[in-house]
Amino acid sequence: MSRQVHELFPDPRVIVLTARIDERAIATLSERERAATGRMREKRLREYAAGRALARDALERFFGVRGFDLLNGEDRAPIWPDGIAGSLSHCDTRAWVALVEASWGTIGIDGEHRAGLERHLWEHTMLPEEIADLDARPPEARGLAALARFSAKEALYKAQYPRSRTFMGFHALHVALERQDALRCTFQETVGPFAEGFVAEGRWRASETGELLSAVWIPRA
């Protein structure tokens, strides 16, 4: 059973649906989707299937696209229907899909089901100034703020990839956690069409069901 997530993106034309991971989704995979699952382990298969069920639901209900098989390219990026930009995320508890008309821009979404980002992962995923910002926060707030940054980087990666087709490392982006739930993602180097200094905005929130959810958008200029 899916439900809509409101006010994550700044424009209601971006549709976000979420559902709990449910192994019954596996039986709803199409033949081509099923063929693409290869030797996926049970957990991965459940999450993959939950994402496909959500995408199919959202495409039908909001974009009039019926029976679409959501496959991935060799680079693992999802292949959305022509004219639609989307993003998918799943963790052990939930899946999310965000979709919009491609003329609007590209979007990224990321969900994480953990209390915080462990300290030993900070250096690999964050810039020295991002770590300094975390260390300046009260100790009990650091893990969650670190997770919000990490999740924002994953969401940004998914939003930029369809336009750059370029891998981007964690240190190529600076994420500022701004007032309330706002994110400001600044490219530290040029990546495809995005020049060093390019800024993408986003938002994060702790969901009512215990996950952290973040979203980043790159509207068409």
In the complex, least distance from residue 139 CB atom to ligand COA, rounded to whole angstroms: 26
Measured CA distances, 128 to 13, 39, 55, 142, 170 (Å):
37, 39, 37, 15, 12
Which parts of 108-127 interact with ligand COA (CB under 6 A)?
110
Phi, psi of 170 (to 5 degrees): -65, -30
Among 56, 94, 149, 153, binds ligand COA (CB under 6 A): 153
Structure tokens at 155: 């969401």
Phi, psi of 164 (to 5 degrees): -110, -25
Check residue 161 for interaction with ligand COA (CB under 6 A).
Answer: yes
Check residue 154 for interaction with ligand COA (CB under 6 A).
Answer: yes
Check residue 149 for interaction with ligand COA (CB under 6 A).
Answer: no
Check residue 170 for interaction with ligand COA (CB under 6 A).
Answer: yes
The region of 60-68, 132-140, 156-164, 210-218 touching ligand COA under the rule CB under 6 A is: 156-164
Distance, in Å, from the CA atom of 142 to the CA atom of 219, rounded to the nearest integer, reads 31
Distance, in Å, from the CA atom of 184 to the CA atom of 152, rounded to the nearest integer, reads 9
Of residues 21, 58, 19, 28, the one with CA closest to residue 42: 21
In the complex, least distance from residue 123 CB atom to ligand COA, rounded to whole angstroms: 14
Site of interaction with ligand COA (CB under 6 A):
48, 51, 72, 75-78, 88-90, 110, 153-154, 156-158, 161, 168, 170, 172-173
